[in-house]
Amino acid sequence: MINDLWAFYSDPANHFASTSLAFLNLCLVAIVAAVAIGILLGFAVSRNSILAFVAINASGLMRAIPVIAFLIAVLPYLGVGFTPAVTALIILGIPPVLLNTYTGLRDIDGSIVDAAKGMGMTGWQIITRVQFPLVLPIVAAGVRTAAIQIVATAPLAAFIGAGGYGDYIVDGFYTLHTVEILAGALPVSIIALLVEGGMSGLERLLTPAGLYKSRSLETARV
């Protein structure tokens, strides 16, 4: 089996290098964009309770809709290829980041902000020196969820022509070629596990030492 896999990867007809690049590119663009939009929206929404209500419920609903249904739903509007796939993945990645940014900001103890005000900090200083470090680990947890979701869904995007390892899997399923299916599944799994490991390390790194103990409960949400 390992020999078969090796033969598959080294066969120039299978374009392993460019397929890998396409997959990594798809994931990376989607993750970066989803995180940026999610954090911005989270901050924006935290200033207005009506917007917050809308965003929270829309995000909750998004979580219920199956990923594959979502990927398919954009197909008639955006067509096939890289752009619709990346758009679907971005929209998929926004809710966890947005929700965590919002709840993180909301749950900051009011007295901490008051103390900062009492020390004479300006509004900007309060955001950058108090709120931002406190909310960072919670946002990081959201980023981790989003990143894993995006990496796990990216192979399915091959069904709408996004390329990457999903191409091997899809092609393998249609031709029932086990080696080709495995050739796609193996790197996808490895990348997913690496992202999970790296992100949980990052999350730990960003958590201020004093908050570490009390946060163990926070990660228990899915």
Partner 1 sequence: MQYLLSPYNYDLSDPESIPNLFFQHLWLVGLTMLISLIIAIPLGLLAARYKGLYTPLIAVADVLYTIPSIAMVAFLIAFTGLQLPTVLIPLILYTQLVLIRNIVAGINNIDPLLLEVGKGMGMNSFQLFLRVRLPLALPTIVAGIRIATVTTIGIASLASLVAQGGLGDLIFKNIANGQLDAVVAGAILLAALAVIVDLLLLGLQVALNRGRNAFAVS
Residues found near partner 1 in the complex (CB under 8 A) = 1, 61, 63-70, 72-73, 75-76, 148, 151-153, 155-156, 159-160, 166, 169, 172-174, 176, 178, 181-182, 184-186, 188-189, 192-193, 196, 220-222
- The answer for residues whose C-beta is within 8 angstroms of residue 27's C-beta and 6 or more apart is 89, 147, 150, 151, 154, 191
Residue 170: CB minimum distance to partner 1, A: 9
Residue 67: CB minimum distance to partner 1, A: 6
Residue 150: CB minimum distance to partner 1, A: 10
Residue 132: CB minimum distance to partner 1, A: 24
Structure tokens that stand for 29 in this block: 């663009």
With respect to partner 1, which residue has the nearer C-beta, 2 or 124? 2
Q: What is the DSSP letter of 13?
A: G
CA angle 220/131/145 to nearest 5° reads 30
Residue 42: CB minimum distance to partner 1, A: 17
With respect to partner 1, which residue has the nearer C-beta, 146 or 156? 156
Q: At what angle do helices 132-153 and 82-106 cross, to 10 degrees?
A: 150
With respect to partner 1, which residue has the nearer C-beta, 29 or 182? 182
Q: How far apart (Å, rounded) are the C-alpha atoms in residues 197 and 203?
A: 10
In order of 4, 23, 78, 151, 202, the CA distances from 75 in angstroms are 35, 19, 5, 19, 35
Element (H, E) at 98: helix 82-106
Q: How far apart (Å, rounded) are the C-alpha atoms in residues 48 and 15?
A: 50
With respect to partner 1, which residue has the nearer C-beta, 20 or 189? 189
With respect to partner 1, which residue has the nearer C-beta, 63 or 106? 63
With respect to partner 1, which residue has the nearer C-beta, 1 or 13? 1
Residue 114: CB minimum distance to partner 1, A: 26
